C-alpha cells in the first residue's frame, strides 16, 4: 500500500500539479513525499490490516491488533540500519505509527464485533463446529 500511494502521489504531482518541471525537481519531490507520506500510509495500512485480522475474532482484539503492528515493524525494521542518518527519525515515527495503527485497528474491530447480531455469531459458530 505504501508503494502504491507513493507512486500515485509522485505521478499526480508530475502530471497534474506541476507538469513540465525539471527531472531534479521531481526527484526532490519524490524524496520529500516519501519522507512524509510513507509513515502515514504505513500506519493506515497497518490499521486496515488489524481491522481485517480482527473481523472474525471474539476476544483479544486490541492485543491482536497491536501484534499486527509489531509484526509490521519487525518485517520492516531492518531498513533503519541502511537508512540515511537524517531519515532514521522518520523511520522511528513510522514504526510507532504502525503499532498505534494496529492497536486502533483492534479497537475498531472490537467495536464492529459488538455490533454483530448474536444470532449471526451463534450461527457462524455452529457452521464451523465451535458451538
C-alpha cell recorded at residue 99: 503499532
Its pTM stands at 0.83
Q: How confident is the model at residue 128 (pLDDT cuts 50, 70, 90)?
A: low
Compute the mean pLDDT over every residue in the chain, rounded to the nearest whole number. Answer: 90
Q: Is 27 helix (H, G, I), strand (E, B) or coil?
A: helix
Question: In this predicted model, which residue has the larger pLDDT, 56 or 119?
Answer: 56
Give pLDDT tens digits for 29-88: 999 999 999 999 999 999 999 999 999 999 999 999 999 999 999 999 999 999 889 989
pLDDT at 126 over 70: no
Segment 87-111 mean pLDDT = 96
Residues 6 or more apart whose Cβ sits within 8 Å of residue 8: none
Q: What percent of the chain has pLDDT over 90?
A: 83
Q: Is 91 helix (H, G, I), strand (E, B) or coil?
A: helix
- In angstroms, rounded to a whole number, what is the distance separating the alpha carbons of residues 4 and 11? 10
Amino acid at each position: 500500500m505504501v508503494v502504491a500511494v507513493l507512486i500515485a502521489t509522485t505521478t499526480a504531482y508530475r502530471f497534474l500539479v506541476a507538469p513540465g518541471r525539471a527531472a531534479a525537481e521531481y526527484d526532490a519531490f519524490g524524496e520529500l513525499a516519501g519522507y512524509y507520506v510513507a509513515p502515514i500510509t504505513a500506519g493506515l495500512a497497518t490499521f486496515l490490516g488489524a481491522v481485517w485480522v480482527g473481523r472474525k475474532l471474539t476476544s483479544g482484539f486490541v492485543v491482536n491488533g497491536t501484534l499486527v503492528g509489531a509484526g509490521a515493524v519487525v518485517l520492516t525494521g531492518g531498513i533503519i540500519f541502511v537508512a540515511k542518518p537524517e531519515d532514521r527519525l522518520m523511520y522511528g515515527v513510522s514504526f510507532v505509527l504502525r503499532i498505534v495503527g494496529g492497536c486502533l485497528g483492534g479497537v475498531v474491530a472490537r467495536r464492529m464485533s459488538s455490533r454483530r447480531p448474536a444470532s449471526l455469531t451463534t450461527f457462524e459458530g455452529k457452521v464451523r463446529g465451535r458451538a
